[in-house]
């Protein structure tokens, strides 16, 4: 079974649309839906339970943020696979079955994501590289124009990644984050790291998963609609600050020095 966890914070209608899309489009794999409400102030989350009696609803007394909110959902989940799904998404074409098949295809594939699209079909760049001074230099100096397309896709990723084929990016957005429960065995307290309230937590999860020997995969044939940003508001300086904290925690002194040069 796949445990689908959706964190809700003042997005009742978006969450309801997301839940409906799962019920309507996921037919070939068993699943449970867990909605974790992070102390919403605009709507009563119990309305979700009334509309969808089959879901599990967990109501936090405070806004715990994205990482901790998902960990609350994981703690009450039953599935051998877990899917973290943003509330501002609509699943398509039995997508859970497709990413589950890839997740189970090889023992050391621990995380799978899918193709994220805007409502008009335009692809979103959810397959990203870890921060790298070398990659930053290649982009900044526009030397990427000299690289063959295949190398740009595998090395630089992001906007250069080939979203029409299978690939293994450094890290993927938490928008659609499908992983094996056993992956958590190598994490502190057997839960996802929650250093960050919001933003960069998905990069951290992937980084720690890779340290434990897991691969991260992208399934191009699996697609969802992502109503970009409607579930969490506009990005702000917190994202940049969290990247700096991430580098400070995991990178070598030389790498930290190089990134300090970039910043200044």
User: Residue 16: inside a domain, yes or no?
Assistant: yes
Q: Which of 21-25, 38-42, 175-179, 240-244 has the lowest mean pLDDT?
A: 240-244
User: Residue 240: inside a domain, yes or no?
Assistant: no
Global pTM reads: 0.93
Cα distance between residue 82 and residue 184, in whole Å: 11
Give the whole-number percent of the chain exceeding pLDDT 90: 81
Q: Which of 123, 126, 125 is nearest to 225 (CA)?
A: 123
User: Residue 141: inside a domain, yes or no?
Assistant: yes
**pLDDT, tens digit (0-9, with 9 covering 90-100), for 90-144:** 999 899 999 999 999 999 999 999 999 999 999 999 999 999 888 888 887 887 7
Cβ atoms of 21 and 90 within 8 Å: the answer is yes
Residue 62: which CATH number? 3.90.550.10
191 pLDDT above the threshold of 60: yes
User: Residue 86: inside a domain, yes or no?
Assistant: yes
**Domains held by the chain: number:** 1
In this prediction, residue 236 carries a pLDDT of 58
Q: Which of 57-71, 114-128, 183-197, 228-242 has the lowest mean pLDDT?
A: 228-242
**pLDDT, tens digit (0-9, with 9 covering 90-100), for 29-81:** 999 999 999 999 999 999 999 999 999 999 999 999 999 999 999 999 999 99
User: Residue 82: inside a domain, yes or no?
Assistant: yes
In this prediction, residue 234 carries a pLDDT of 45
User: Residue 252: inside a domain, yes or no?
Assistant: no
pLDDT band at 231 (very low <50, low <70, confident <90, very high): low
Helix (H) or strand (E) holding 128: strand 127-128
Cα distance between residue 85 and residue 134, in whole Å: 32
**Range of 187's domain?**
2-234
Cβ atoms of 205 and 193 within 8 Å: the answer is yes
pLDDT band at 151 (very low <50, low <70, confident <90, very high): confident
User: Residue 247: inside a domain, yes or no?
Assistant: no
User: Residue 246: inside a domain, yes or no?
Assistant: no
**DSSP SS3 for 138:** helix
């Amino acid at each position: 079974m796949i445990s689908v966890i959706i964190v809700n914070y003042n997005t009742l209608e978006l969450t309801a649309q997301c839940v409906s899309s799962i019920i309507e489009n996921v037919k070939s794999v068993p699943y449970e839906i867990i909605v974790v409400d992070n102390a919403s102030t605009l709507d009563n989350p119990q309305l979700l339970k009334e509309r969808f009696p089959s879901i599990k609803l967990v109501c936090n007394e405070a806004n715990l943020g994205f990482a901790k909110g998902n960990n609350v959902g994981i703690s009450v989940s039953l599935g051998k696979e877990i899917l973290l799904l943003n509330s501002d998404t609509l699943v398509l074409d039995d997508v859970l079955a497709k990413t589950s098949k890839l997740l189970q295809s090889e023992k050391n594939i621990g995380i799978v994501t899918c193709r994220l699209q805007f409502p008009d079909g335009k692809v979103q760049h959810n397959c990203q590289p870890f921060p790298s001074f070398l990659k930053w230099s290649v982009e900044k100096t526009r030397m990427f124009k000299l690289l063959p397309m295949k190398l740009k896709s595998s090395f630089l990723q992001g906007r250069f990644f080939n979203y029409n084929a299978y690939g293994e990016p450094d890290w993927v957005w938490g928008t659609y984050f499908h992983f094996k429960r056993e992956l958590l065995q190598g994490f502190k307290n057997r839960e996802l790291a929650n250093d960050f309230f919001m933003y960069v937590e998905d990069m951290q999860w992937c980084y720690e998963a890779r340290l434990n020997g897991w691969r991260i995969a992208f399934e191009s044939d699996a697609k969802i609609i992502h109503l970009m940003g409607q579930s969490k508001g506009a990005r702000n300086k917190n994202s940049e600050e969290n990247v700096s904290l991430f580098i400070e925690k995991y990178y070598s002194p030389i790498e930290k020095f190089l990134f300090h040069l970039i910043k200044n």
